[in-house]
């Protein structure tokens, strides 16, 4: 089978697609990934073909900035971030930036299936033009339905420019949706079409081995790790706590820039998350999909300090499930951070909810199973 994968170039959007792409390649399928230029190295590393499509996302944001007198999204309440950026940045601008290149690559490739991450809204349009089925791959919880409806309006003129009417939901739920949130975290339902579930992260590489003195992992991912002030707040807040702190700040950051720090802290550029999480009692992080689902898969309670993008959606999802406490920027201080961490460490309810999610993640189908299911689905489509 030939699969055209369409993704925006952000790591939080592309990375959740990689297990399924890898499963297709391992099964002998041909995969072409159409994305922004920043995704080239990641795509080529896993053995897929890369097709550059549109400019980089900073160019999208600059283009959006020309429409405003200020910074795009500035002053927007956290719960309205997706309502602002989904129709404007990913809808009007993102589709316009990507669609011509993706369609050109698609016509040359002649795919049997278009697989797109949820916000790469050029994907369902190209699938409709090519006359092949499309599959939306979520990278977190389902986006708010009203935000998707706004995106539907935003992309309608682009669909009409190809002589097509947008089929509702910006084409996102047109045929099939792959969901990666375990049932305990699902607070919304796919409004149209069928669904498949996919385990969001690999299974733990070993059983939990919690130490008598709690180990707390602190990370702010790859997008927000340049804000050293967040790391300093965490180091200062946790310096006198009876815990061991393991902090990763990213390959481009220097641990020496945070020195001196307390004896209970270890600061590294990078440690593979899968190696670290089995020994952790809690994780303090920004709410990126990789860390959020990694902690859930290992049954580790979380304190989430959302910074932007989909962080707030992931934080809300985990709070509702009882696996995390979220501290918004306006409430974050050393005192509130220590209080939240003590609660998730001391209150067994957070551990029970996290372990329940871990069991559900473990029971979800893996990428190979989903790839086989998609083969069967395409054959019937």
210 in any annotated domain = no
Look at residues 307, 306, 296, 290 and name the one whose alpha carbon lies nearest to residue 360: 296
Q: 327 pLDDT exceeds 90?
A: yes
Token pair belonging to 183: 């049932």
Cβ neighbour number for residue 61 with a 10 Å cutoff: 15
333 in any annotated domain = yes
207 in any annotated domain = no
Q: Are residues 334 and 374 in the same domain?
A: no
Predicted local confidence at residue 310, as pLDDT:
83
Q: 214 pLDDT exceeds 80?
A: yes
Angle (CA) 109 33 253, round 5°: 160
208 in any annotated domain = no
Q: 311 pLDDT exceeds 80?
A: yes
Q: Are residues 280 and 141 in the same domain?
A: no
Predicted local confidence at residue 356, as pLDDT:
95
Q: Quote the CA–CA distance of 18 and 294 in Å, as a whole number.
A: 15
Predicted local confidence at residue 188, as pLDDT:
79
Q: Are residues 45 and 10 in the same domain?
A: yes
Q: Are residues 181 and 318 in the same domain?
A: no
The dihedral over CA atoms of 366, 353, 304, 219, expressed in degrees to the nearest 10, equals -50
pLDDT tens for 81-96 read 999 999 999 999 999 9
Q: Work out the pLDDT band at 197, boundaries 50, 70, 90.
A: very high
The dihedral over CA atoms of 175, 177, 178, 179, expressed in degrees to the nearest 10, equals -170
- CATH number at 187 reads 3.40.50.2000
Residue 285's φ and ψ, nearest 5 degrees, are -160, -175
Q: 300 pLDDT exceeds 80?
A: yes
325 in any annotated domain = yes
Query: Contact at 8 Å (CB) between 22 and 234?
Result: no
Q: Are residues 349 and 374 in the same domain?
A: no
Q: Quote the CA–CA distance of 310 and 307 in Å, as a whole number.
A: 9
Predicted local confidence at residue 245, as pLDDT:
97
Q: 224 pLDDT exceeds 70?
A: no
Residue 101's φ and ψ, nearest 5 degrees, are -65, -45
Query: Contact at 8 Å (CB) between 319 and 325?
Result: yes
What is the reported pTM?
A: 0.91
Measured between alpha carbons, how far is residue 50 from residues 1, 11, 37 in Å? 17, 15, 9
Q: Are residues 22 and 156 in the same domain?
A: yes
Q: Are residues 17 and 147 in the same domain?
A: yes
Strands (DSSP E) contained in the chain are 2-6, 30-35, 49-52, 113-117, 134-137, 176-179, 194-197, 215-219, 244-248, 265-268, 282-285, 302-304, 324-326
Q: Are residues 125 and 151 in the same domain?
A: yes
pLDDT tens for 244-269 read 999 999 888 888 998 898 999 999 99
Q: Are residues 219 and 191 in the same domain?
A: no
Q: Quote the CA–CA distance of 218 and 167 in Å, as a whole number.
A: 43
264 in any annotated domain = yes
Q: 217 pLDDT exceeds 80?
A: yes
Q: Work out the pLDDT band at 381, boundaries 50, 70, 90.
A: confident
Beta bridge partners of 5: 33, 115
Q: Are residues 349 and 369 in the same domain?
A: no
Radius of gyration of the chain (CA): 21
Peptide bond into 279 cis (omega under 30): no
Q: Are residues 247 and 334 in the same domain?
A: yes
Quick one: DSSP state of residue 196? E
Q: Domain range holding 10?
A: 2-200+364-380
| Strand, coil or helix: 283 | strand
Q: Are residues 104 and 166 in the same domain?
A: yes
209 in any annotated domain = no
232 in any annotated domain = yes
Predicted local confidence at residue 223, as pLDDT:
65
What is the average per-residue pLDDT within 282-296?
94
How many distinct structural domains can be found in the chain? Answer: 2
Predicted local confidence at residue 110, as pLDDT:
98
Q: 296 pLDDT exceeds 80?
A: yes
């Amino acid at each position: 089978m030939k699969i055209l994968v369409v993704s925006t170039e952000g790591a939080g959007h592309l990375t959740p697609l990689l297990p399924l792409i890898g499963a297709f390649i391992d099964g002998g399928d041909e995969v072409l990934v159409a994305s922004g230029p920043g995704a080239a190295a990641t795509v080529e590393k896993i053995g897929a073909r890369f097709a550059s499509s549109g400019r980089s996302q900073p160019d999208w944001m600059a283009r959006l900035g020309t429409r405003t007198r200020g910074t795009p999204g500035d002053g927007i309440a956290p719960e309205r971030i997706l309502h602002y950026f989904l129709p404007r940045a990913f809808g009007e601008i993102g589709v316009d930036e990507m669609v011509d290149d993706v369609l050109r690559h698609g016509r040359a490739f002649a795919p049997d299936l278009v697989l797109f991450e949820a916000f790469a809204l050029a994907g369902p349009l190209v699938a409709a033009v090519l006359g092949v089925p499309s599959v939306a791959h979520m990278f977190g919880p389902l986006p708010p339905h009203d935000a998707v409806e706004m995106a539907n309006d935003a992309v309608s003129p682009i669909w009409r420019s190809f002589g097509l009417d947008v089929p509702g939901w910006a084409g996102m739920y047109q045929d099939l949706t792959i969901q990666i949130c375990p049932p305990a975290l699902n607070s919304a339902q796919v409004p149209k079409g069928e669904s498949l579930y996919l385990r969001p992260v690999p299974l733990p590489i070993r059983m939990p081995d919690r130490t008598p003195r709690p180990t707390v992992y602190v990370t702010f991912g790859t997008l927000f790790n340049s804000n050293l002030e967040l790391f300093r707040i965490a180091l200062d807040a946790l310096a006198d706590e009876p815990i061991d702190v393991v902090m990763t700040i990213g390959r481009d950051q220097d641990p020496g820039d945070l020195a001196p720090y307390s004896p209970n802290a270890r600061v590294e550029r990078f440690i593979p998350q899968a190696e670290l999480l089995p020994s952790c009692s809690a994780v303090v992080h920004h709410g990126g999909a990789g860390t959020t689902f990694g902690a859930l898969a290992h049954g580790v309670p979380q304190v989430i300090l959302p910074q932007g993008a989909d962080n707030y959606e992931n934080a809300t999802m985990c709070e509702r499930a009882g696996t995390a406490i979220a501290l918004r920027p306006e409430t974050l201080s050393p005192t509130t951070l220590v209080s939240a961490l003590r609660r998730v460490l001391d209150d067994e309810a957070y551990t029970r909810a996290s372990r329940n999610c871990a069991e559900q993640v473990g029971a979800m189908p893996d990428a190979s199973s989903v790839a086989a299911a998609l083969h069967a689905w395409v054959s019937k489509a």
